[in-house]
Structure 1
Amino acid sequence: MTDPDAEFRWLDDVWAGEIYCASFVRDLTPREALTRFGTDASTIEEVTYGKVCERAVAGREASPRALPGYIGAVEVGGWTLIVEPLGWGAAGPDARARISRGTEIVVITRHDYSRQEFIHEIDGETITYFDLIAPELRWGSDPNRWVDAMREVGLDPDHDDSTGPHPEFAFANVFALASKVTGVRFSADMLARSFLGAETNEK
């Protein structure tokens, strides 16, 4: 078994907060990914990761619906990482289908008041979906595709409620799974790169 906690300890500095979404899209540039997401193309600009977070916080404070209205994207090893501080837009079925058209997307969502999700979708088809608090309850066209990888990173795909409570999970485990699905080794260095940021059409 790999040691996700050691490999992804840096996430503690960026995954803080109650709501966050990270998505990995294959073979799309950051600009293409932002466009498919549904951002306002006229607002696309080069920014730092820190500025993406600042704009998302400011957008949520100004939004009547408490939506951040700002996201960022950066290229990582043939994939584009989309970050949504305080958001969860890419987890929606319409957005996933739109972004994954002709390619694939892996979505990790943290939402302390709703679902914590792992989603793998190819060309608009959900391959594997599960809530992180119950990884044994999976659905999709191939819900067992990643069970071996889940075991390797410390997620239990075979939990039986009769044997006891669900084990605690860490987002490090989930990012380790995403790394196995995408073949990309994620590191804190990616957040030091220049991002493209844009305002979303939901505010």
Structure 2
Amino acid sequence: MVTDPCAEFRWLDGLWAGDIYCASFVRDLSPREALTRFKTDANTIEEVTYEKVCERAAAGQEASPRALPGYIGAVEVGDWTLIVEPFGWGAAGPDVRARVSRGTEIVVITRHGYSTQEFIHEIDGETITYFDLIAPELRWGSDPNRWADAMREVGLDPDHDDSMGPHPDFGFANVFALASKITKIHLSEDVLGRPFLGAETIEK
């Protein structure tokens, strides 16, 4: 019997509403500290629902001349904090992830319908493994092969050869399954029903 190594994450394939979304896992930081490192306005930190995070981000994007959402959310999951950026990609920026990962580590997943879609693992400001989701065989970082075996296990071919045919189909369930190999978090759908901390970002 063949089992799906990404089955518990399939619900995430339908979560990514819109063209742009970023999810990050930060180890050993509280949601409040993680939001602070993202350079949010401390005076705006408040308890909100996940739905409210998405609503505020959508409204911020519409009001921003640069189409930046200006609002993010955070929730504690085990020893990690999950940061969600609907319509945003702040954590993918090298300065942001270096700042957020100082003394700890961060795993970043971005979706961007018309630009780079990334998977990044960074420890204390050092990029360990980075790849674009459309070409997981093209990796860089100080240890680009650290998660190669885990990538194979979740259906992201780290050795793909374009001459042999197209990449196997995959969804964001596969990418979150890879993140789970690093964080040891088994992300269930009920996490979105927990109270989040939300805040306005300083850059809008």
Which sections of structure 1, spanning at least 5 residues, go unmatched? none
C-alpha displacement at 1:16, in angstroms? Answer: 2.2
- Secondary structure of the residue that 2:127 maps to in structure 1? strand
Who is 2:34 aligned against?
A: 33
Deviations 1:81-113 (A, max 9, x none): 000000000010000000000000000000011
Deviations 1:89-142 (A, max 9, x none): 001000000000000000000001111100000000000000011000000000
CA-based RMSD of the aligned residues comes to 1.2
Alpha-carbon distance between aligned partners in 2 of 1:158 and 1:201, rounded to the nearest angstrom: 40
Are the equivalent residues in 2 in contact too, given 1:2–1:152 (CA < 8 A)? no
- Secondary structure of the residue that 1:172 maps to in structure 2? helix
Q: Report the TM-score, using the length of structure 2 for normalisation.
A: 0.97
Who is 1:54 aligned against?
A: 55
Who is 2:158 aligned against?
A: 157
In structure 2, the CA distance between the partners of 1:2 and 1:150, relative to structure 1 (3 Å rule), is: farther
Which sections of structure 2, spanning at least 5 residues, go unmatched? none
Matched residue type, 1:22: A
C-alpha displacement at 1:182, in angstroms? Answer: 0.5
Matched residue type, 1:73: A
Alpha-carbon distance between aligned partners in 1 of 2:3 and 2:38, rounded to the nearest angstrom: 33
- Secondary structure of the residue that 2:40 maps to in structure 1? coil
Pairing 1:1-203 to 2, within 5 Å after superposition = 3-203=4-204
- Percent of aligned pairs with the same amino acid: 85
Matched residue type, 1:23: S
- Secondary structure of the residue that 1:8 maps to in structure 2? helix
C-alpha displacement at 1:70, in angstroms? Answer: 0.2
Are the equivalent residues in 2 in contact too, given 1:2–1:153 (CA < 8 A)? no
Matched residue type, 1:200: T
Alpha-carbon distance between aligned partners in 1 of 2:183 and 2:3, rounded to the nearest angstrom: 16
